[in-house]
Amino acid sequence: MQILRRTLALLFAVLIGCMAEAATPVILPQPTLFTLREGTFRLTNQTQIHAPSELRNPAERFVEDVAAIVTLEAPHKASKQAEGIRLQLNKALPTEGYHMQITPREIRIEGGSAAGVYYGLQSLRQLVVQYGDSIPCCTIEDAPNFSYRGAHLDVVRHFFTVEEVKRYIDILAAHKLNRLHWHLTDDQGWRIEIKHYPELTEQASKRKETLIGHCLHSTTYDGVPYGPYYYTQEEIREVVVYAAARYVKIIPEIEMPSHAQAALHALPWLGCTEQQVEVWTHWGVSPEVMCGGKETTYEFLEQVLTEVMALFPSEYIHIGGDECPKERWEQCPHCQARIRELGLQDEGQNRTAENQLQSYLTARIERFLNAHGRRIIGWDDMLAGGITPTATVMSWQGTQGGIYAAQHGNHVVMTPMEYCYFDFYQTESREGEGLAIGGWVPFEKVYAWDPYAGLNDHERDYILGLQCNLWSEYIPNFNHLQRLLLPRLAALSEVQWATDRRDPTTIRIRMEQMRRLYELCDWSYAPYYFEGRK
């Protein structure tokens, strides 16, 4: 029965693929307006790209992106000659929006910015994948719904090389995402070079061994040292530049005061007890957190963030703040002295004095970063001790934290577990998936998500955007990572870009085209959606 079902699903997929070939051109995420016209534009290796100097970058990226299908010359300066592909800025368009007009003589793309032109070229790339060298004439108008379209990557639990991170960025950009949230520090490792504290990468970028199996059931370790793995500052700069050329901004995350056991291993004075702890070999929530009382913790954080700001031009810096057990703080004379000095009192429920001390730490770091022209983002856990004035809240424990933040006039990035945790299983049977943390987030669920549920019109204005998270406890290599990302990222990208104009009637056909793109680029993807398995 199982085999029959799968064979039928496969046949269906092939059939739809063939139909798509002859049928209307398809683009994912769904554009605002698409009008098919008579005729075709012939793309050959003689086709010239005309671009003013400020659009040279998107033009060069396009030449690379279609290289597997057609060899195009490097872009020419803008000229009056109308043949070929012509790129222009049009400030009347939305910043990331574009208009594309394809006639038999020319393909004209106007963008609100270089990013808008780049997204127009991503759509054109999809048409090239679908039709090869004869592109059907059409007009497209398009612009994104959300300005923040993110994906997160945990490089701590398992490390991914500079080349792999670049491939990850390629995949995001092809889906018109514009933010990479780079999770660089945690209990199991410290992965960013900080010149002022060389101990961090010397000692905290490796762990003795790694857990085998699931953290809830296993106490068996593999006995294999992991690391040293980290990025030098030079490598970080290289990745930032690479991402910027694809209109992806990188938001670095430095976890504080929790998920910091690796840092405590290298610098024991960061903890309350100052006793050395190991770089964690288990997954989960560790009680070993930075001391919130001692002034040295704040000096450390400011020093680290000063170097982080010099590396990352991003306005937003992610300061973590999730899952911070307070058992050390409750016993710590420094934390308790600070609580008394600040006059913090237990206000019942979540508003313990210790949770308020965490809010004090967040607010201090917020002021420090604000003074340097930056803004903070943190996980919704940081709401427990009270919300700080300018923080953007990343809502992962459902959307309640995000809704609460919006009601207080704070900005929000929605990334609720039940739709956005791509480390969760993709099928109900879990057959063939390998080990994952748990949960169930099939493609269809991501695609049907209403990110505005529970928000009124006023609160909606505070939602900057949406993000998927890839926590890498159970992601041992880049191939596996891609299979968790694809094809679910395609579903998310349509929710991010085309929230209110999603087109479920054509999603299967469009996904067949995306699959061709994945194969052409040699990106691995999970087969379940294409096999009809949820």
User: What is the rounded end-to-end Cα distance, in angstroms, of the chain?
Assistant: 16
Annotated catalytic residue, options 158, 175, 181, 259: 259
Give Dmax (Cα) for the chain.
78
**Cα distance between residue 226 and residue 281, in whole Å:** 9
Binding residue (CB under 6 A) for ligand TNX from 164, 202, 235, 322:
322
Contacts to ligand TNX from residues 383-422, by CB under 6 A? 396, 421
**Residue 320 or 451 having the CB closest to ligand TNX:** 320
Closest separation between CB of residue 185 and ligand TNX, Å?
11
**Cα distance between residue 390 and residue 94, in whole Å:** 26
Closest separation between CB of residue 436 and ligand TNX, Å?
9
Contacts to ligand TNX from residues 451-510, by CB under 6 A? 471, 473
Is 323 a residue that touches ligand TNX (CB under 6 A)?
yes
Closest-CA residue to 467 (of 3, 146, 52): 146
**Residue 127 or 468 having the CB closest to ligand TNX:** 468
Backbone angles phi, psi at 429, to 5 degrees: -75, -20
* Residue 284, both tokens: 């989960």
Closest separation between CB of residue 142 and ligand TNX, Å?
32
Contacts to ligand TNX from residues 116-175, by CB under 6 A? none
Contact between 351 and 385 (Cβ < 8 Å): yes
Closest separation between CB of residue 258 and ligand TNX, Å?
9
Q: Which residues, in sequence order, are CB contacts of 379 under 8 Å at separation 6+?
A: 320, 321, 322, 323, 393, 394, 396
Q: Is 503 a catalytic residue?
A: no
Site string for ligand TNX, 242-261 (x = CB under 6 A): -----------------x--
**Residue 231 or 471 having the CB closest to ligand TNX:** 471
Closest separation between CB of residue 239 and ligand TNX, Å?
22
Backbone angles phi, psi at 478, to 5 degrees: -70, -30
Residue 499 corresponds to which amino acid?
A: T
- What SS3 state is found at 98? strand
Binding residue (CB under 6 A) for ligand TNX from 159, 379, 443, 497:
379
Q: Is 259 a catalytic residue?
A: yes
**Cα distance between residue 269 and residue 290, in whole Å:** 9
Closest separation between CB of residue 44 and ligand TNX, Å?
48
Closest separation between CB of residue 376 and ligand TNX, Å?
15
- What SS3 state is found at 275? coil
Binding residue (CB under 6 A) for ligand TNX from 423, 459, 494, 512:
423
**Residue 170 or 473 having the CB closest to ligand TNX:** 473
Length in residues, the chain: 534
Q: Is 323 a catalytic residue?
A: yes
Annotated catalytic residue, options 141, 235, 323, 531: 323
Annotated catalytic residue, options 186, 354, 494, 512: 186
| Number of residues engaging ligand TNX in binding (CB under 6 A) | 10
Closest-CA residue to 188 (of 131, 99, 261, 118): 261
Distance of CA 409 to the CA centre of its chain: 24
Closest-CA residue to 489 (of 519, 468, 474, 510): 468
Closest separation between CB of residue 283 and ligand TNX, Å?
7
Strand segments, DSSP code E, in 191-279 are: 211-212, 220-221, 249-253
Q: Which residues, in sequence order, are CB contacts of 121 under 8 Å at separation 6+?
A: 58, 59, 61, 62, 65, 87, 109
**Residue 152 or 249 having the CB closest to ligand TNX:** 152
**Residue 369 or 394 having the CB closest to ligand TNX:** 394
Site string for ligand TNX, 184-213 (x = CB under 6 A): ------------------------------
* Residue 528, both tokens: 């379940």
Q: Which residues, in sequence order, are CB contacts of 371 under 8 Å at separation 6+?
A: none
**Residue 29 or 402 having the CB closest to ligand TNX:** 402
Q: In degrees, to the nearest 5, what angle opens at C-alpha 171 toward C-alphas 319 and 212?
A: 65
Is 231 a residue that touches ligand TNX (CB under 6 A)?
no
**Residue 56 or 445 having the CB closest to ligand TNX:** 445
Is 437 a residue that touches ligand TNX (CB under 6 A)?
yes
Which residues belong to the active site? 186, 259, 323
| Interacting residues with ligand TNX (CB under 6 A) | 259, 322-323, 379, 396, 421, 423, 437, 471, 473
